[in-house]
Structure 1
Amino acid sequence: MFCYQCEQTKRNHTADGIFMGCADTKGSCGKDATTADLQDLLVYLIQGIAYYQYQFAPTQGIDKKAAEFILYGLFTTLTNVNFNATRFSSLIQNAKELRDQLAEKSGGVKPSDAPNTPLTLVPQSDVEGLLAQAKIARVNAQQDTVGADVIGLRTLILYGLKGVAAYAYHAFMLGYQKDEIHLEMARLLSELMSESVDLNGLLKEALAVGELNLQVMALLEQANTEQFGTQQVTPVRTTPVAGKAILMSGHDLHDLKLLLEQTQGKNINVYTHGEMLPAHAYPQLKAYPHLVGNYGSAWQNQQQEFAAFPGPIVMTSNCIIEPQASYRQRLFTSGPVGWAGIRHVADGDFSAAIQIAQAMPGFKTSEVEKTITVGFGKHTVLGVADAVINAVQQGAIKHFFLIGGCDGAVPGRNYYTELAEKTPHDTVILTLGCGKYRFNQLDFGSIGGIPRLLDVGQCNDAYAAIEIAKALAGAFHCGVNDLPLSFMVSWFEQKATAVLLSLLALNVQNIHLGPSLPAYLTPNLIAILQEKFSLKANGNAEDDLAMALSPKAA
C-alpha cells in the first residue's frame, strides 16, 4: 500500500530519501493494505466513469446513476470511512459495469484500444488479481518519471475532489443536486487522466476544485436550511438524561432525521456525537423532544466514549476507528461507512438498533445539566451584523479568529486550545468542525451581548464562515484580506483539503494550517503556496497569535 491522504500519515523515508508515507501492512488510521489498494483501484475506475460521463453529458445529459456512484464511491475512500475490503471488491466490479455502459452510450474508447487504463481496465474476479492490478492505480505510481511535485499537485486535486464528493453526497441524500456540479466533477476527475506535468496548470485545476467545493457547500447549506430550517441559537445538553438511549455520530443530518422519526414515541432518547452536535440548532430536528443532547466529544475519543455509552451507536459518515469488543455488537454503520463484521443499516432502516436500545438499560439517572451553545450559522450572525459592525467601529471588537476544522489524536493539537485561551478579551472566535471540542466548553464571555465564541457548525459550514467574512468585508468596503480576521485552521482529512482549496480559490491570504502541513505537499509546492497565498505552518501558539494581531498582519 501507499497512502498519505490524512494528517496522521507516517512521515518516514527510505535510506535514499524517498517519502514512504503509510506503506506498511496497515496505515495510521487502521486501514489494512488490502483495503487501501482496493480503494486505489476503485478511484482509478471512477476516473474512467467520469471521463465517459464528461463525454456523454453534452449530447445526452448527466447520467444520474453514474453521478451518484462517483460521489458515493469517492466518499467511501475518505480517511476513516470504510474499512471493509469485501465491499470494495464489489464496488470495483460495479464501477467496471457502469463505466462500460457509459462507454457504449458515448461511443468512447473500446477496451482493445488502450488496455489497463481507467477507461479500459478489466478488473480481476478475485482479490489477489485485483491487488496485482492496483499497483498502477496508486497516487505515486508515476513519481519516478514525473517527479514528486507533479504527483503532489495531482494528489492535491484528487484528495480535494474526495472531500467535494463527500459534501455533495450529503446534499444528494437530501434530494439536492446540480448538473453543473456533476459535470465539473467529471471534468476534473477525467483531467487527472491527462497526465499533465505542468505545475501552473495543475495548480489552476486545484483551485478549480476549490471553486467547485464552494458551489457544493452552498448547495449543502441550502439543503440543510430548506429541509431542517434556519439555524437558531440553542443550548445543547451535554450530560445524560435517565432513560434508554441511541447515539448517532458523523455528519449526516438525513440519517438523524430518519432515526428521530423511527424512535418517536418509543421512549428512547437520541444523542448526537462528534460533528453531529450542530444538528441541535435546526428547528425541524430539535422539535423532536427525544433529541435530548450531545454525548462525548470528537471522533478520536470514540473508543472510550462508545464503550461507556449504554445503548447502540450509529456511524453515519467519517470518522470510524477500530471498534472495540465492548461495543462491537451494538455498533452500526450507514451510508458509505463500513467495517468488516459490523452490521450495516440498509435503506435508512434503524429497526435493529432500536431493538437493541429497547433491550438495554440506558442511563440509570440524569446528571446535573450542563450545556454548550450552538447555532451561530450564517443567518444568525448576519442577523446581528449591525451590532457586530458597530462593536468593531467602536473598538469593542478588535479582531476575529476562525479557529476550527478537524480534530485528531496526534500531538500538537493542544495548540488550538492554547491559541483560543490566549485570544484577547476584545476578540471574537468563530469555530466549526470537531476541532471546537478542544475548547468549546470554556467560558470566553461576551462583548456587548455578542458571545466571544460562536459555533458556526460542521466542517462544511466553512461556507457560512466565508459568507460572514464576505459580508463584513462588504460592510467595511474592503477585501476579506483587509479585515481584522485570521484563519487558524486544523486539518485532518480530505474534506479539510477541499475547504482549504476553497479558501485559496478566494485568494484568502495568511492561513495558518496545522498541526502539520499535508505530506503530499513537497517543499517546492509549499514554497509556491507560501509565495502565492502566504500559507503558514503552525508555529508556537503565542508567537502565531502575536503575528496575527500585529499591525502588519491586520
Structure 2
Amino acid sequence: MFCFQCQETAKNTGCTLGGVCGKKPETANRMDELIRQLKLLALTRKPDRELGLFAVQSLFMTITNANFDEARIAAQLERAKELTGPTAARAPLGVLSCENEDIRSLRELLTCGLKGIAAYADHAAMLGREDDAVYEFVFRALAATAQELSAGELIALVLECGNIAVKTMALLDEANTGTYGKPQVTRVKTGVGKRPGILVSGHDLRDLKELLEQSKEAGIDIYTHSEMLPAHYYPELKKYPHLYGNYGNAWHRQNSEFAAFNGPILMTTNCITPVQESYRNRIFTTGMAGYPGIPHIADRKDGCPKDFSAIIALARTCPPPTPLEDGTIVGGFAHDQVLALADKVVAAVKSGAIKRFVVMAGCDGRQKTREYFTDVASGLPEGTVILTAGCAKYRYNKLPLGDIGDIPRVLDAGQCNDSYSLAVIALKLREAFDLDDVNRLPLSFDIAWYEQKAVAVLLALLALGFRNIRLGPTLPAFLSPGVAKILAETFGLKPTAEAKADTEAMMQGK
C-alpha cells in the first residue's frame, strides 16, 4: 500500500505497511481500485443525479477513518464497474503510478479536495439538496487526474476545486438551516443523566434527527460526540428534551470515552478508529461509515427513515454513562448569529476592545504537536476573538478564556463544513468596515488539518481570496516542494512554527 492523504501519515511521507489510522493494506489497495474505477466512470459517462451521488458517496467511503470494511468497499467497486460498462479508457492505479513529483502532487491535491467536497455533497443530498454543477465538476476533475495534463492545467483545476468547495458548503449550509432552522447560541451540558444513553458521533444530522424521533418515548437519552456537538445549536434538534448533552471530546479519544459511555454508539460518518473489545458489542455504523464485524444500519428506502430499533433496544439494557466531566460548552455562532452582533463587533474593534480575530478551525488529532493549538489559544492576548469550526475546537473550547463585553472569546460556528460560516462572517465584516480587501481586516488564520475535508476547506478559503494562512501541525505530505512553493508564493500559505512566535506574528498582522 501507499497512502499519504492524512496529516498523521507515517513520517509525513506515506503509510506503506499499514495505515496509522488502522487501515490494512488490503483495504487501502481496494480503495485505490475504487478510485481508479471512478476515474474510468468519469472518462466514460456524463453524470446524472444517480451517477453523481454514487461517485461522491464512493469518494466519501475512502476518506480517512470513514470505512474500514473491505467487503463494503469491494461491493462499491463492483457497482462502479457495472455503471462504467465496457470501456477502452485507461486510468492509473495508485498514487505512485505518476512518476513526476509535481504532477503527482497536484493530482493528489485535487483528489483530496474532491473527497472533501464529496462528503459535504452527500450530507446535502441526504437533505434533498443537490447541484448538478458539483457533480459535473467531480466527474471532470476525476477524469483530469487520469489524463496527461500540464501542471498549469492542473493548478487551474485545483483553484476551480476551491470554488466548487465554496458552492458545496453553501449548499449544505442551506440544507441544514432549511431543514433544522438557523443555529442559535446555546449552552450545552457536558455532564450525564441517570438514564441509559446512545452516543452519536460523526456529522450526519438527518441520522440524529431520525434517531431522536424514534427514541423519544424509549426512556433513554441521546448524547452527541465530537463533530456532532453542533447539533445542539439547531432549533429542530434541540427541541427534543432527551437530546441531553455532549459526551467527550474529539474523535481520537474513542478508546477511553466509548468504553466509559456504557451504552451503544452510532457512527454516522468518519471518524471511526479501530474498534476496541471494551465496546465492540455496542457500536454501530451507518451511511458511508463501516467497520468489519460491526452491525451496519441500512440506508433509507422508498423515502422511509432508517430503522434504529436495534440500537434503541440495546440502549435500554445498558447502564447510564460514566461521568467524564460536568460543565457546559457555548456554541452556535454561525454566520446569522454573529452578523446579528455585527454592530457590537464593529464597535468593539473600533474602540480597541477587540484587537484581532484568529480563525482556528479544522481538525484535531492524536499527535503531541497539536498541543500547539492549545498553546496559541492560551497565549492570545485578551483582546482577541477565536473563530472556530470543526473538532479542532476541542483543543481550546473548554479553556477559561472569558468574554469581551458580552462577546465570548471563542465563537464556535459548528462542524468543519461550517467553516463556510466563518468565511461569510469575514466577508461581511469587510463590508462593514468598507474595505476593498478581506485581508486588510484584523484577521489571521491558524488552521489545523487532519483529513480531506480540511483540504476542501483550505481550497475554499483560497478561492474566496483569503491569504497568509498558517496550516499545521505539518504541511500535507502530498505537497511536493515545488507545489508547496507555488502555494507559498501565490497565496502566502505557510506551515505553523512555534506557538509563541506564531502568536506574536499574528498579532502584528504577519
TM-score by length of 1: 0.89
Q: CA deviation at 1:11?
A: 2.4
* 1:246 equivalent in alignment to 2:198: yes
Q: Which amino acid aligns with 2:69?
A: N
Which aligned pairs between 1:165-184 and structure 2 lie closer than 5 A?
165-184=118-137
Name the Cα RMSD after superposition. Answer: 1.4
Q: CA deviation at 1:368?
A: 8.2
Distance 1:200 1:256, change over 3 A: same
* 1:29 equivalent in alignment to 2:14: no
Distance 1:310 1:522, change over 3 A: same
Q: Which amino acid aligns with 2:257?
A: E
SS of equivalent residue, structure 1 residue 246: strand
The CA distance in 2 between the partners of 1:93 and 1:42, in whole Å, is 9
* 1:345 equivalent in alignment to 2:297: yes
Q: CA deviation at 1:511?
A: 0.4
Q: CA deviation at 1:369?
A: 4.6
* 1:65 equivalent in alignment to 2:50: yes
Q: CA deviation at 1:476?
A: 1.1
Decide whether the 8 Å contact of 2:391 with 2:416 is kept in 1. Answer: yes
* CA deviation map 1:43-79 (0-9, x unaligned): 111122223343xxxxxxx522211110110000000
Q: CA deviation at 1:454?
A: 0.5
The CA distance in 2 between the partners of 1:526 and 1:192, in whole Å, is 19
Q: CA deviation at 1:411?
A: 2.2
Q: Which amino acid aligns with 1:274?
A: S
Aligned partner of 1:46 in structure 2 is: 38
SS of equivalent residue, structure 1 residue 213: helix
* 1:408 equivalent in alignment to 2:362: no
Which aligned pairs between 1:88-103 and structure 2 lie closer than 5 A?
88-100=73-85
Aligned partner of 1:387 in structure 2 is: 344
Decide whether the 8 Å contact of 2:193 with 2:320 is kept in 1. Answer: no
Aligned partner of 1:289 in structure 2 is: 241
User: Among residues 539, 542, 549, which one is paired with 2:497 in the alignment?
Assistant: 539
Aligned partner of 2:106 in structure 1 is: 153
Decide whether the 8 Å contact of 2:331 with 2:411 is kept in 1. Answer: yes
Aligned partner of 2:303 in structure 1 is: none
Which aligned pairs between 1:263-412 and structure 2 lie closer than 5 A?
263-347=215-299, 348-363=306-321, 369-412=326-369
Q: CA deviation at 1:529?
A: 0.9
Which aligned pairs between 1:487-502 and structure 2 lie closer than 5 A?
487-502=445-460
Q: Which amino acid aligns with 1:523?
A: P
The CA distance in 2 between the partners of 1:332 and 1:195, in whole Å, is 42
Decide whether the 8 Å contact of 1:53 with 1:63 is kept in 2. Answer: no
* CA deviation map 1:88-142 (0-9, x unaligned): 2111110000112xxxxxxxxx53x45xx24xxxxxxxxxxxxxxxxx4102212
The CA distance in 2 between the partners of 1:384 and 1:474, in whole Å, is 15
Decide whether the 8 Å contact of 2:376 with 2:503 is kept in 1. Answer: yes
SS of equivalent residue, structure 1 residue 243: coil
Q: Which amino acid aligns with 2:317?
A: A
User: Among residues 456, 461, 464, which one is paired with 2:418 in the alignment?
Assistant: 461
User: Among residues 426, 446, 449, which one is paired with 2:406 in the alignment?
Assistant: 449
Decide whether the 8 Å contact of 2:260 with 2:321 is kept in 1. Answer: no
User: Among residues 463, 468, 474, which one is paired with 1:510 in the alignment?
Assistant: 468
Q: Which amino acid aligns with 2:369?
A: G
Q: Which amino acid aligns with 2:496?
A: N
The CA distance in 2 between the partners of 1:367 and 1:80, in whole Å, is 24
User: Among residues 510, 523, 541, which one is paired with 2:481 in the alignment?
Assistant: 523
Aligned partner of 1:138 in structure 2 is: 94
Structure 1 gaps, min length 5: 13-18, 55-61, 101-109, 119-135
Distance 1:298 1:368, change over 3 A: closer
Decide whether the 8 Å contact of 2:468 with 2:491 is kept in 1. Answer: yes
Distance 1:367 1:458, change over 3 A: closer
Decide whether the 8 Å contact of 2:388 with 2:419 is kept in 1. Answer: no
Decide whether the 8 Å contact of 2:471 with 2:496 is kept in 1. Answer: yes
Q: Which amino acid aligns with 2:4?
A: Y
User: Among residues 160, 165, 175, which one is paired with 1:213 in the alignment?
Assistant: 165
SS of equivalent residue, structure 1 residue 333: strand
Decide whether the 8 Å contact of 1:241 with 1:367 is kept in 2. Answer: no
Distance 1:363 1:2, change over 3 A: closer
SS of equivalent residue, structure 2 residue 10: coil
The CA distance in 2 between the partners of 1:256 and 1:368, in whole Å, is 23
* 1:76 equivalent in alignment to 2:28: no
SS of equivalent residue, structure 2 residue 102: helix
- Report how many aligned residue pairs link the two structures: 503
SS of equivalent residue, structure 1 residue 340: coil
The CA distance in 2 between the partners of 1:448 and 1:519, in whole Å, is 42
* 1:224 equivalent in alignment to 2:209: no
Decide whether the 8 Å contact of 1:11 with 1:519 is kept in 2. Answer: no
Q: Which amino acid aligns with 1:149?
A: D
The CA distance in 2 between the partners of 1:268 and 1:417, in whole Å, is 35
SS of equivalent residue, structure 2 residue 424: helix
Distance 1:53 1:462, change over 3 A: farther
Q: CA deviation at 1:362?
A: 1.9
Q: CA deviation at 1:351?
A: 1.0
* CA deviation map 1:339-379 (0-9, x unaligned): 11000011321111111101112248x89851101100010
* 1:486 equivalent in alignment to 2:486: no
- Larger C-alpha radius of gyration, 1 or 2? 1
SS of equivalent residue, structure 1 residue 194: coil
Q: CA deviation at 1:506?
A: 2.1
* 1:257 equivalent in alignment to 2:209: yes
Aligned partner of 1:105 in structure 2 is: none
* CA deviation map 1:378-428 (0-9, x unaligned): 100001111101111111111000112100001210000000001111111
Q: CA deviation at 1:265?
A: 1.0
* CA deviation map 1:186-206 (0-9, x unaligned): 11112222221x222211111
- Aligned residues: percent identity? 47
SS of equivalent residue, structure 1 residue 247: strand
Q: CA deviation at 1:158?
A: 0.5
Q: CA deviation at 1:500?
A: 0.7
Decide whether the 8 Å contact of 2:389 with 2:413 is kept in 1. Answer: yes
Decide whether the 8 Å contact of 1:153 with 1:203 is kept in 2. Answer: yes
Decide whether the 8 Å contact of 2:48 with 2:132 is kept in 1. Answer: no
Deviation >4 Å, runs of 4+: 366-369
Q: CA deviation at 1:170?
A: 0.5
TM-score by length of 2: 0.96
Q: Which amino acid aligns with 2:116?
A: G
* CA deviation map 1:225-266 (0-9, x unaligned): 010001000000001111110000001101000110110111
SS of equivalent residue, structure 1 residue 404: coil
Structure 2 gaps, min length 5: 300-305
Decide whether the 8 Å contact of 2:121 with 2:130 is kept in 1. Answer: yes
Decide whether the 8 Å contact of 2:109 with 2:478 is kept in 1. Answer: yes
Aligned partner of 1:131 in structure 2 is: none
Q: Which amino acid aligns with 1:341?
A: G
